[in-house]
Amino acid sequence: MTYRLYNRPGSGGFVVEAALTLAEAPFELVELDSKPNTLLPESFRATNPWRQVPTLILPDGTTMTETAAILIHLAACFPEKNLGPIPGTSQHGKFLRWAVFANVNIYEAILRRGYSSRFTDDPAAQEATRTAAVRRMAEACAVLEDAVEGPFLLGEEMNLADVYFAMLFLWLRTEIDAPRLTALGQRVRQHPVVGPIWRRHFGDR
């Protein structure tokens, strides 16, 4: 039973690749020949109608999209790997809260910055859309900065939300005072399993 992950280098599929590797799950990585901030080929619509990555095909053939949903699903599939807190606990509630928060407020803002034409039909408004997105990302990161409970988001142990946040924080591209998130990102980059995947996607950033 093998997963199939569609991705492209430097994209959000990094965190799904990291999750599958941390889970020691067998998977096939299909890297698409496409640059970030460009649309995927029309032919990919048959796999994902939004033509976006990451797209994960589960072992039974089910298609999953939406990064946060994929991470939550994989954490539940491999409880013995401690990819997330135990479902039903308050810690798991926090895990769900912050994973969805990041997806809705940070990842969405990244898309508005990179694909501003999707969010306004007025070409003259595209720059304002981008600058508003950058502001929104900084505001969301400030909320997360205050939420960090220890070396990682929920305390002493790294989970998939931490890996997700580290990637999104890298994409912020604006200076904010966030020492906790900065340190969290460094710990994720230094993780013995995640680190090599990070460097393949993002180099030494």
Question: What predicted TM-score, i.e. pTM, was given to this entire model?
Answer: 0.94
19 shares its domain with 111:
no
Provide mean pLDDT across the span 146-166.
Answer: 97
Query: Using one digit for the tens of pLDDT, what is the confidence trace for 46-104?
Result: 999 999 999 999 999 999 999 999 999 999 999 999 999 999 999 999 999 999 999 99
Q: Which domain holds residue 105?
A: 90-191
Residue 196 lies in a domain: no
What is the percentage of the chain residues whose pLDDT exceeds 70? 99
Residue after which a domain boundary falls, among 47, 81, 115: 81
**C-alpha dihedral sign at 87, 93, 97, 98:** negative
Asked if 68 and 106 sit in the same domain, the reply is no
Same domain for 8 and 96: no
Q: Is residue 156 over pLDDT 70? A: yes
Taking only the tens place, the pLDDT of each residue in 114-136 is 889 989 999 999 999 999 999 99
- Mean pLDDT (whole number) for 162-175: 90
Q: What was the pLDDT predicted at 93?
A: 98
Pairwise CA distance, residues 34 & 47, whole Å: 15
What is the model's pLDDT at position 174?
Answer: 75
**pLDDT for position 63:** 98
16-59 residue pLDDT tens: 999 999 999 999 999 998 776 677 889 999 999 999 999 999 99
Looking at residue 68, what is its pLDDT?
Answer: 96
Q: What is the SS3 assignment for the chain?
A: CCEEEEECCCCCHHHHHHHHHHCCCCEEEEECCCCCCCCCCHHHHHCCCCCCCCEEECCCCCEECCHHHHHHHHHHHCHHHCCCCCCCCHHHHHHHHHHHHHHHHHHHHHHHHHCHHHCCCCHHHHHHHHHHHHHHHHHHHHHHHHHCCCCECCECCCCHHHHHHHHHHHCCCCCCCCHHHHHHHHHHHHCCCHHHHHHHHHCCC
Q: Mark whether 31 and 62 lie in a shared domain.
A: yes
Count structural domains, the chain: 2
